[in-house]
């Protein structure tokens, strides 16, 4: 099993460090963003398993981060960790697509259990999906004929489906990041989606963008 990657979005540095300490001790890899803009950039370029999201951030509300992630079709589990304890705040968080909400001050032990539970649930979801799609979806040949992809583009599409960023694709294929970005752009265009997060579904035989729109 690969190491699970967690993005911590927190501008109070001692809280961020405490979170990092607890999560890393449990074997997770962590990334830290202290601003909303940085969080969105990281969520876009890295394959993450979970986001722990503070709401009060210097540049923009944490809700904005969550909203934009969901708009992009990014369904990474999000746990809001905030000092805001009003019911209205929690309701807003869940309506925007949060998976859990913990108020500060928090118990590290409980938080770690909630993180583990969320990761377990999302692993189950993925496994159930794989089971419902035996054979793992479209073959390389089907991808070439259905979408007009070249062999190279099939390779890129598979990497996108695994959640790799342009930088990671560039490293894997030993090309420049600029080239990887170009490839990604052409593959997404041929697949008929603007969202990298949709590629996995499309490769498993799902419709390009309809599913997301239906949830709006």
Contact positions vs Ca ion (CB under 5 A): 11, 54, 56
Q: Which residue, among 18, 34, 39, has the nearest Cα to 112 in the 3D structure?
A: 18
Q: Residue 154: left (phi > 0), alpha (psi -120 to 50), or beta? A: alpha
Q: How many Cβ atoms from other residues are within 10 Å of residue 106's Cβ?
A: 16
Q: Which residues pair with 6 in a beta bridge?
A: 30, 50
> In the structure encoding, which two tokens stand for residue 57, read together?
């951030």
Of 11 and 67, CB closest to Ca ion: 11
CB of 31 to Ca ion, least distance (A): 17
CB of 102 to Ca ion, least distance (A): 14
Of 12 and 145, CB closest to Ca ion: 12
CB 27 within 8 A of CB 2: no
Q: CA–CA separation, 97 vs 134, rounded Å?
A: 29
> In the structure encoding, which two tokens stand for residue 206, read together?
């799902």
Using Cβ positions, the residue closest to Ca ion within the complex turns out to be: 56
Of 56 and 205, CB closest to Ca ion: 56
- Beta strands at 78-82 and 100-103: parallel, antiparallel or unpaired: parallel
Of 57 and 159, CB closest to Ca ion: 57
Q: How many residues does the chain have?
A: 216
Of 104 and 158, CB closest to Ca ion: 104
If you count DSSP H runs as helices and E runs as strands, how many of each does the chain have, helices first?
11, 5
CB of 57 to Ca ion, least distance (A): 6
CB of 11 to Ca ion, least distance (A): 5
CB of 40 to Ca ion, least distance (A): 16
Of 54 and 74, CB closest to Ca ion: 54
Q: Return phi, psi of residue 102, to 5°.
A: -125, 135
CB of 54 to Ca ion, least distance (A): 4
């Amino acid at each position: 099993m690969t190491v699970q990657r967690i993005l911590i979005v927190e501008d109070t540095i001692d809280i961020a460090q405490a979170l990092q300490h607890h999560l890393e001790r449990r074997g997770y890899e962590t990334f830290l963003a202290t601003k909303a803009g940085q969080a969105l950039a990281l969520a876009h370029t890295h394959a993450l398993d979970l986001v722990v999201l503070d709401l009060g951030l210097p540049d923009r509300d944490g809700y904005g981060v969550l909203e934009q992630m969901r708009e992009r079709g990014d369904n990474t589990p999000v746990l809001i960790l905030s000092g805001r304890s009003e019911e209205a705040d929690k309701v807003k968080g869940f309506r925007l697509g949060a998976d859990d909400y913990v108020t500060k001050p928090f118990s590290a032990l409980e938080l770690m259990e909630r993180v583990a539970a969320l990761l377990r649930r999302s692993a189950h979801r993925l496994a159930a999906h794989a089971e419902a799609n035996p054979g793992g979806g479209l073959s390389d040949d089907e991808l070439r004929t259905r979408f007009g992809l070249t062999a190279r583009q099939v390779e890129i599409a598979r990497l996108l489906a695994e959640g790799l960023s342009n930088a990671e694709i560039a490293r894997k294929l030993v090309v420049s990041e600029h080239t990887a970005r170009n490839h990604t752009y052409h593959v997404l265009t041929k697949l008929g989606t603007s969202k990298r997060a949709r590629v996995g579904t499309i490769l498993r035989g799902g419709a390009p963008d309809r599913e997301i729109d239906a949830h709006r």
